[in-house]
Amino acid sequence: MDSREQITTVGDGLLVLAPAKINLSLLIAGKRPDGYHEIETIMAKIDWYDEILIQPGRQAGIELTCRGPNWAPAGEDNLVYRAAKSLLESCGLTPDVRITLTKNIPAGTGLGSASSDAAATLIGVNHYFKLDIDQKNLFESAAKLGSDVAFFLGGPLAFCTGKGEKVKKLDEIFNFTALLILPDVSVSTKMVYANYRHNRHLYKKLNIRIKNYILENRIDLAVKMCTNMLAESCFDLEESLAELKETIESLGIGPYCLSGSGSAMFCIIESGDEEEAREGMRKLADKIGCKSIIIRNNRW
């Protein structure tokens, strides 16, 4: 498991790690009066990170620079900028600050990286400027930025409901090693939800089983169900993902579960053996040419 801390001092700046997440299960309870869908999901942080570096400013206001292997929007279109601006303004501050986002985790993969970036920014700005904002107020700030942001302020394992903003930390330690598939496909969360057709009977059936497993502290059994009620909608919109999943599982690697609204998929390695995971990576690369990485649960 990764031994790095979330916050470290780097020269005159502060480096904050922003972990990705996977949905170990994801149920849709139905559509809410406000048009959003009510979800019930077990989310786990993983040891793959974007990085937020906060340093003294070189120009007036907030200066955001994005770099790394994956694209991210600059300026106020980025949740990092909006998170920093909202938190500082809530304290009546307008400092000159430079923020560098290193984008390692691709968007449109169901791994929550933009939400995690926002949460890491809230944590980092609070720490860097010694604002002493408590967890309750940080959660309130997170809820205004996006549904999943609050989860990344706590964790590493939680049961999230509502739009995802209602977070109940799960105290069970669920250690896992998994193979994460990263298809070269970006999926629109908005379109997946718009395309979703609710199955009330299926929801009720799955809800009872998963809630019982949580009460029994058997997250492992909930994970084995490989449940994601958005998967059908995602695969309907992106048939190539459905075909990829079928091809991968035909190699004897799996089952593979969709994370969030996709496109990333993961397979828990039950033995926890890293060599078994590496063998799976080699097989995927040789036979399909598919990109994958080994991930583990995060400890914070």
Does residue 215 carry a pLDDT above 80?
A: yes
pLDDT tens sequence across 112-153: 999 999 999 999 999 999 999 999 999 999 999 999 999 999
Crossing angle (nearest 10°) for helices 135-145 and 79-90: 140
Does residue 9 carry a pLDDT above 80?
A: yes
As a whole number of angstroms, the distance between CA 258 and CA 229 comes to: 9
Does residue 1 carry a pLDDT above 70?
A: no
Cβ pair 171, 226 in contact under 8 A: no
Average pLDDT value over all residues in the chain: 96
pLDDT at 59: 92
Strands 62-67 and 97-102: parallel
Burial class (CB in 10 A: 0-12, 13-18, 19+), 162: middle
pLDDT at 195: 98
Options 47, 50, 117, 148, the catalytic residue:
148
Q: Which long-range contacts (CB under 8 A, 24 or more apart) does 35-40 make?
A: 36/163, 37/163, 37/193, 37/196, 38/161, 38/162, 38/163, 39/160, 39/161, 39/162, 39/163, 39/164, 40/159, 40/160, 40/161, 40/207, 40/210
Cβ pair 14, 7 in contact under 8 A: yes
Pull the structure tokens for residue 14.
């502060």
Strands 166-169 and 157-161: antiparallel
pLDDT at 74: 86
Q: Give the model's confidence band at 228: pLDDT under 50 very low, under 70 low, under 90 confident, else very high.
A: very high
Q: Where are the alpha helices (DSSP H) in the chain?
A: 79-90, 113-128, 135-145, 189-195, 200-215, 219-224, 231-237, 239-250, 274-287
As a whole number of angstroms, the distance between CA 180 and CA 177 comes to: 10
* 3-class secondary-structure state, position 86: helix
As a whole number of angstroms, the distance between CA 255 and CA 179 comes to: 11
As a whole number of angstroms, the distance between CA 139 and CA 153 comes to: 7
7-169 against 177-296: fold identical? no
Options 21, 45, 103, 245, the catalytic residue:
21
pLDDT at 257: 98
Neighbours of 25 (CB within 10 A): 24
What residue ranges do the domains of the chain occupy?
Answer: 7-169, 177-296
Fold of 7-169: Ribosomal Protein S5; domain 2 (3.30.230)
| Sequential DSSP letters for 33-55 | TTSPEEEEEEEEEEEEEEEEEEE
Measure Cα distances from 75 to 92, 186, 272, 274 in Å: 20, 22, 41, 40
pLDDT tens sequence across 67-101: 999 999 988 999 999 999 999 999 999 999 999 99
Closest CA to 187 of 149, 144, 242: 242
pLDDT tens sequence across 171-207: 999 999 999 999 999 999 999 999 999 999 999 999 9
Q: Is 47 a catalytic residue?
A: no
pLDDT at 56: 97
Pull the structure tokens for residue 234.
């995602």
As a whole number of angstroms, the distance between CA 101 and CA 2 comes to: 20
Q: Which residue has the tokens 């990705």?
A: 20
Q: Give the model's confidence band at 155: pLDDT under 50 very low, under 70 low, under 90 confident, else very high.
A: confident
Question: The CATH number of 177-296 is which of 2.60.40.10, 3.30.70.890, 3.30.420.10, 3.40.50.150?
Answer: 3.30.70.890
Q: Is 12 a catalytic residue?
A: no
As a whole number of angstroms, the distance between CA 188 and CA 111 comes to: 13
